[in-house]
Amino acid sequence: MSNRFSRFISRIGERRLLLVIAGVAFGFQLLNLRAPNFYGEPFLVAKNIVASKGYVFAYPITTPIGPTCYVTPLYVYLQVPFLYFPWGERAIQVMNLLFLQAGCFVVYRFFRRFTSSSVALLSFAVLSFYVPFWILSYTLDPNSLNLVLLALTVECVYLLLVFPSLRQWIWFGILIGIQMLLRPDIALGAVLFSILIVLWNRSFATVKGIAVAAILSLVIVSPWTIRNYMLFHKFVLVSANAGMNLYEGNNPVATGEFSELPATPESRQDFSEIAEYSKTHDQIDVDRLRLKISEQWILAHPGKVFILDLKKAWYHWFGRPIMGEQFHYTFQRDALMFKIFGVLMLLFGLYGLNAIRNPKLQSLFITVFIYSTLVSAIFFVQSRHRILKVDPFLLPLAIVGLISALGYIRNPMRRPDLLVEAEQGEASSA
């Protein structure tokens, strides 16, 4: 990064520039705010609560509306207060945009630990004006809240890698517990992050820390678990939707996205069995049946599953064949632009990942990418997995890679100084 830009930052002030970027980005986000065209499941449950129907929802396809634990509760109850007012939907969108700003700031703060102020500010600007984040924030889904919580979790894991402490383990447990009440796939992330920490810090203190974090997470979700047992007389830790998601990604007509192929005798038989079962069983049992059917199909078709998983991993990284509405874009050409930008971001991001020369940090980013890919490969590909779990970290890495590549072209013998603070940043964060 040029000395001129660094002097400009010093003259204006890093914090002041940060506020200006955030303010301008937030203003543009509000100017482009449009009525939502995608109503997520938490929003529909929140509407039922406001309408005095209770925490009810119709399990997809087969069951009528009724008491449910299909939808996780955190974002539902965050939306309920807004829906009592006539501007409720717009207020929820603004809340999402504020969560997005918070998430961009957390990622900026995280990258500021090991990059120069110039790189961190540029990364913050790119994140703040990254339109896919805006689009997912405009929907009435917990996307931006998911982003900020994951960013805080990654930052926490990094501190556990370099300076493990009881305080950080407690914070890690709290973050995992909160996210379990939002999107339970974080359980897979928690396992992968814990394995990563153990590989770098092989000590009894690490094992105790993981135990503390696990207990705290279970304590946080326990009120909802107790509610589920008292209502359904069955154990459901957080939500009963794993069967639905696993079946959508693993069934006789699965494509990696949704079941788009023409029906087959096997798929018709499965649907008939599920529909008949739904007449006499509640949503939890129906979801468990879907889980059982999908597991049986996986065991019976290992070759198909392997090819399907590869296809889902490809879709996850390079975009699905059908996008448009699934990305909540207005025009299909936006999806093509996103694919092109995504490939460039991946190339420069990988170069930036290599350029940071911090093994712990590199392994952390790789773990995040593996976590995101596995979620898509196990279940089915949803655009938000890539955007919310990968792009917040891949975008800044692409900035690092681009600037590092430009610096190398200008002077192949000189290491760029934008990465110098990897060791200094660790020391200052202690």
Task: Report, as an integer, the average pLDDT of 1-23.
Answer: 74
281, 292 contact by CB (below 8 A): no
Dig out the tokens for 268 from the structure. Answer: 């018709």
pLDDT digits (tens, 9 = 90+) for 115-174: 888 889 999 999 999 998 998 899 899 999 999 999 999 999 999 999 999 999 999 999
82, 94 contact by CB (below 8 A): no
* CA dist., res. 381 & res. 317, Å (int): 10
Dig out the tokens for 375 from the structure. Answer: 């979620």
290, 350 contact by CB (below 8 A): no
Dig out the tokens for 178 from the structure. Answer: 């909160």
pLDDT digits (tens, 9 = 90+) for 245-267: 999 999 999 988 776 678 889 88
- Specify the pairing of strand 56-58 against strand 65-67: antiparallel
The percent of residues above 90 in pLDDT, for the chain, comes to 63
Angle (CA) 165-168-170 rounded to 5° is 110
Torsion-angle region of residue 197: left (phi > 0), alpha (psi -120 to 50) or beta? alpha
Give the type of residue at 205: A
More confident of the two residues 304 and 5: 304
pLDDT at 419 (0 to 100): 52
pLDDT at 61 (0 to 100): 73
Is residue 337's pLDDT more than 80? no
61, 273 contact by CB (below 8 A): no
Residue whose pair of structure tokens reads 């925490």 in the numeric block: 55
pLDDT digits (tens, 9 = 90+) for 359-368: 999 999 999 9
* CA dist., res. 216 & res. 131, Å (int): 36
Please give the backbone phi and psi of residue 117, each rounded to the nearest 5 degrees, phi first: -60, -35
Q: What is the mean pLDDT of the chain?
A: 87
Q: pLDDT band at 427, cuts 50/70/90?
A: very low
What b/e readout covers 142-157, taking b as 16+ CB neighbours within 10 angstroms? bbbbbbbbbbbbbbbb
57, 71 contact by CB (below 8 A): yes
The pTM for the full model equals 0.90
pLDDT at 66 (0 to 100): 86
pLDDT at 423 (0 to 100): 38
Which one, of 382, 395, 261, lies nearest residue 327 by Cα?
382
Is residue 429's pLDDT more than 70? no
Torsion-angle region of residue 268: left (phi > 0), alpha (psi -120 to 50) or beta? alpha
Which residues fall within 8 angstroms of residue 403, CB to CB, at 6 or more apart? 1, 119, 416, 418
* CA dist., res. 246 & res. 218, Å (int): 23
pLDDT at 255 (0 to 100): 87
* CA dist., res. 206 & res. 115, Å (int): 28
Distance set, CA 270 to CA 62, 165, 177, 283, 377 (Å): 12, 50, 35, 17, 22
Q: What DSSP element (H or E) covers 352?
A: helix 332-355
Is residue 353's pLDDT more than 80? yes
271, 286 contact by CB (below 8 A): no
pLDDT at 263 (0 to 100): 85
Task: Report, as an integer, the average pLDDT of 284-310.
Answer: 94
pLDDT digits (tens, 9 = 90+) for 391-413: 999 999 999 999 888 877 777 66
The percent of residues above 70 in pLDDT, for the chain, comes to 88
Q: pLDDT band at 329, cuts 50/70/90?
A: very low
Dig out the tokens for 191 from the structure. Answer: 């396992």
Is residue 40 helix, strand or coil? Answer: coil
| Cross-strand bridge partners of residue 56 | 67
Angle (CA) 406-21-352 rounded to 5° is 30
Q: Is the dihedral of CA 78, 142, 172, 374 positive or negative?
A: positive
Q: What DSSP element (H or E) covers 56?
A: strand 56-58
pLDDT at 321 (0 to 100): 53
Please give the backbone phi and psi of residue 55, each rounded to the nearest 5 degrees, phi first: -80, 80
pLDDT at 412 (0 to 100): 66
- Burial grade of 133 (CB within 10 A; 0-12, 13-18, 19 or more): buried
Which residues fall within 8 angstroms of residue 344, CB to CB, at 6 or more apart? 398
pLDDT at 59 (0 to 100): 82
Largest CA distance in the chain: 73
